[in-house]
Amino acid sequence: MPSRNILITGATGRIGANVAKHMVDLGHHIRALVLPGDHQKTKLENLGIETVQGDITSFDDVRIACRDMHTVFHLGAAFQAGGPFTPEQYMHANVQATFHVFEAARENAADVKHVVFSSTDATLDKYPPTGNVQPIAETTVSQTQTDWYGFTKILGERLADRFVRAEGVPITIVRFPMVWGAGEFPDFPQFRMAYFFEHFRCRSDRHAIEMLEHLESLANGENPLVIACDPNGRSWMKHTLDVRDIAHGFERLLGSKPAIGNTYQLGAPGPFTWREVVPAIARATGEQIIETRMDHMVPTFYEFDLSAARRDFGYAPTHDWKSTLDEAIRFTTDGSDAIIPTVAS
């Protein structure tokens, strides 16, 4: 593949840093739009990445950054784990800034041949009362989120659709589920009892009080690992994504004409269940395990259909939950000091 000039917004974030490093390793020229004063700027430059100072909420900054770029990976955003953010900040970072990227790409159409816009499964209504029986494809569940993160990402997707159809801007939307960086997987709050204590303590109904008493009796003052099950005893299930497979997915998207104008869900090779993962974490940490039904609580139970991404640009993730857990244990045990925080090797 010939070398490309690639602009990355959000390149100092945990996902953007991994994608940027991977693209540099492939021989591409990377330009990162970096906020003034961002302390990660030097670390990016040490990787051979060109940095330009600016803000995605400034159209002039985005326009300048897009010059002479063949591809734009728009990863910059206000997201749930990075906040708290106000509604106004979500609108500026996730809607206005996305407009800036698409409009700058339109103005630079002679150079920009592909824009990849990162969206999220948080746009999807993926928590029905009894879980999802069938894998979720790109169009099989509705997008009616009202929290500001999911809602503004829906607006970003609608902007992409408008720019593709009305202006011919070559945009691909990719939706990420929960993403794991190096060392993060075992610390997922929903693997431990404290998460469920907090959930039921926020409610005052009779069912919540009964569940809280039940969980407190099981925990006995500790914060054990939990194999969470639905009222029928079915283990919870979740489909997430290792950041290394995002880098692979973006590599596969480069030059992929069939992907232009389409939306794709990315994910790990398959989902994991609490019944699989929690005992594996316990073996690594020596923590106690409790298995219990989480009655009167909407279960986490879903997986994604990745067939569209596999078909259209050869997406082939390799990092299942075992690989992600092994990397987390190695990262923690080695005390690795990544060049950029949470860059997985």
pLDDT level of residue 306 (50, 70, 90 thresholds): very high
| pLDDT on residue 19 | 97
pLDDT tens-place string over residues 180-211:
998 899 999 999 999 999 999 999 999 999 99
DSSP, res 65: H
Task: Look at the pTM and tell me if it is higher than 0.85.
Answer: yes
The tens digit of pLDDT for each residue in 236-277 reads 999 999 999 999 999 999 989 999 999 999 999 999 999 999
Instruction: For 87-141, give the secondary structure using H, E and C.
Output: HHHHHHHHHHHHHHHHHHHHHCCCCCCEEEEEEEHHHCCCCCCCCCCCCECCCCC
Single out the residue of 317, 171, 307, 133 nearest to residue 240, CA to CA. 317
95/109 Cα distance (integer angstroms): 21
Q: Please say whether the beta carbons of 107 and 99 come within 8 A.
A: no
SS3 323: helix
Query: How many helices (H) and strands (E) would you count in the chain?
Result: 12, 13
Q: CA quadruple 210, 212, 213, 219: dihedral positive or negative? A: positive
Domains in the chain, please, with CATH? 5-176 (3.40.50.720)
